[in-house]
Amino acid sequence: MREAPLPPGGTIGILGGGQLGRMLSTAASRLGLKTHIYSDENDAPAFDVAAKTTIGAYDDEAAIAGFARVVDIVTCEFENVPASTLEAAGRAAPVFPPPRAFAVAQDRLVEKEFISGLGIQVAPFAAVDDIASLKRAISLTKLPAILKTRRFGYDGKGQVLIREQSEAEASLQTIGDVPALLEGMVLFEREISVIVVRGKDGELRYYDAIENVHQGGILATSTVPASIPDDVAYAAREIAGRIANALSYVGVLCVEMFQCEGSSPNLVVNEMAPRVHNSGHWTLDACLVSQFENHIRAIAGWPLGETSRHSDAAMTNLIGDDVNSWPELAAAEGTGLHLYGKAEARPGRKMGHYTRIVPKR
């Protein structure tokens, strides 16, 4: 039996107050839904566009429970929400995406095991707890390889490249001697991602596959369409859908992949994000229904919206001081400018993005 959707006037509680929460909140408002943002920052960007706000620590279970009691649904705009927090929220309100998706995405080792367990190709990997297991891992993955912390990594943080055996010991110290995994290098042609949205009834809808370029571990540009053949695009969708189904996922999920040389499609999954994703920001300007609105529709039990694109798009992030070029970007033709309302342009901080759209080829 299908559950009734959350009607207009209902309130979505969002854990996290960054730019993703901000764009989720304005998307919810299109549908007549209110948002209540929970953040540990005093001046979270999402506070500017929310009906209600709560400032609190993410591990303050009493505060989280109080927050969950006054909203209709709880969702998250970042994946490193503590499991105990999701449980505390879940006792008072439905939580979407399902907490299991966070458990998987928060631990790179669990994530790799989960995805490869679905018969999906990932980079060679092995658990690393100490120098002995690191040496065994190196014999499996070969060098160069990347040592990554199991938890709390994003935008290239918590990673170190090992080129030679002699760097092994130091690399463990660099990441702080925490549980880790070693990943073999994947020689790829290009990085792509797929944004999929899955409804409560299991319906899957996909945005077109995206071609991504990272710089310094941070996403720089996302371009649609990706320059890949149709069979690769189809295979990429199928992988994202298989992961979403296996997690009984509800909401927007992003799966990042490498397209490798060799017999097509040869896709290797890099990682997944159980949330709206930076590589899907172009959907705001090139689709009738953005990834943000489709996430809200899914978790609220609404019919999913259109995912087709009306225009080709290229999104560029504004990192740190890049944002100072806003006057020129505001004047540029065919350019949608998005600024996140962050006061301080620290290096590496995502301050905004812009999307150039052109008619579909």
How many angstroms separate the Cα of 247 from the Cα of each of 10, 88, 108?
26, 20, 16
Residue number, 150 or 295, with CB nearest to its own copies:
295
- Residue 250 phi/psi, 5-degree rounding, is -135, 120
Q: Which of 42, 48, 86, 83 is closest to 67 using CA atoms?
A: 86
Residue number, 36 or 112, with CB nearest to its own copies:
36
CA distance 81 to 139: 34
Q: In sequence order, what are the residues at sequence separation of 6 or more whose Cβ sits closer than 8 angstroms to the Cβ of residue 41?
A: 17, 55
Residue number, 177 or 321, with CB nearest to its own copies:
321
Residue number, 48 or 189, with CB nearest to its own copies:
48
Which structure tokens are listed for 59? 């591990």
Rounded to a whole number of angstroms, the minimum distance from the CB of residue 336 to its own copies is 5
Chain residues in the site for its own copies (CB under 8 A): 5, 8-9, 22, 25-26, 29-35, 47-51, 285, 288-289, 297, 302-303, 305-306, 310-311, 323, 326-327, 330-331, 333-343, 352, 357, 359-360
Rounded to a whole number of angstroms, the minimum distance from the CB of residue 41 to its own copies is 14
Residue number, 188 or 326, with CB nearest to its own copies:
326
CA distance 113 to 245: 16
Which structure tokens are listed for 235? 């295979």
Rounded to a whole number of angstroms, the minimum distance from the CB of residue 309 to its own copies is 10
Identify any residues that bridge with 196 across adjacent strands, giving them in sequence order.
206, 253
Residue number, 35 or 149, with CB nearest to its own copies:
35
Q: Which of 54, 43, 50 is closest to 24 using CA atoms?
A: 50
Rounded to a whole number of angstroms, the minimum distance from the CB of residue 25 to its own copies is 7
Rounded to a whole number of angstroms, the minimum distance from the CB of residue 311 to its own copies is 5
Where are any strands of DSSP class E within 56-124? 73-76
Is residue 232 helix, strand or coil?
helix
Rounded to a whole number of angstroms, the minimum distance from the CB of residue 136 to its own copies is 50
Residue number, 57 or 330, with CB nearest to its own copies:
330
Q: Which of 202, 200, 209 is closest to 234 using CA atoms?
A: 209
Rounded to a whole number of angstroms, the minimum distance from the CB of residue 51 to its own copies is 4
